[in-house]
Amino acid sequence: MAIWELRCAAPNDFAMLVPIDRDDLEEDLFDATGAPKQWVDRPRVAFHVEKRRKVQKPRANVSLLVPGALVLDEKARATLGEFLLRFGQLLELDCEGEPRWFYNVTRMIACVDARRSETFEDGGIAREAFDESAVPSEPLVFKDPRTASVRMYVNDAGKAVIERAAANAGLTGIECGEPGPL
């Protein structure tokens, strides 16, 4: 069984989201470390506008806001929400007056093999090697405690569910790919 990274597809090709209120970043509101979150008010986000570009990047159904999380529009939530909720939370955002959902994965599985992984001088993981025997075979979205702040993972069965649903619905901005360097 392989382990894949669940991520935004081609983030340089699609408009990314930015928080409207800088305090939300300073308060770590969007940190996606695997812990459950609770928001009193819907945080406000907007699509980044590149002032030097005459034509802005297109908006995807699944957008990037911060590493280790996804933001879904209504179409993506309707398509993937039931499956994704089994492994985390969908927290509502206000995106330029429209709802979007911050996907916060809370399912944790320790499967990064620190002994076989490439590491930085300080001991942090540079490129993961996995203990695949630690991951169940049923469809799954999860995080590992060592990389939780920057990565979301799926197993083969989870990848198949997401790719099939995304293709059938014509979703843009989401992919399951081989993890690259951190």
pLDDT digits 0-9 by tens, 141-182 = 999 999 999 999 999 999 999 999 999 999 999 999 999 888
Assigned domain for 36 exists = yes
| Contact in structure between 14 and 8 (CB atoms under 8 Å) | yes
Per-residue pLDDT, 24: 85
Place of tokens 């980044």: 48
pLDDT digits 0-9 by tens, 13-38 = 999 999 999 888 778 899 999 999 99
Per-residue pLDDT, 57: 93
The separation between the first and the last C-alpha atoms of the chain, rounded to the nearest angstrom, is 22
Per-residue pLDDT, 149: 94
Q: Provide the number of structural domains found in the chain.
A: 1
Assigned domain for 114 exists = yes
Assigned domain for 72 exists = yes
- Stretch (H or E) spanning 163: helix 156-169
Assigned domain for 182 exists = no
Alpha carbons within 13 angstroms on the beta-carbon side of residue 126 total 7
Assigned domain for 163 exists = yes
Q: How far is the CA of 96 from the CAs of 18, 42, 45, 80, in angstroms?
A: 11, 12, 7, 22
Assigned domain for 173 exists = yes
pLDDT digits 0-9 by tens, 36-85 = 999 989 999 999 998 888 899 999 999 999 999 999 999 999 999 999 99
Assigned domain for 82 exists = yes
Assigned domain for 118 exists = yes
Residue 49 structural domain? 3-177
pLDDT digits 0-9 by tens, 85-112 = 999 999 999 999 999 999 999 999 999 9
| Closest CA relative to residue 70, chosen from 134, 130, 152 | 152
| Contact in structure between 68 and 152 (CB atoms under 8 Å) | yes
pTM (two decimals): 0.94
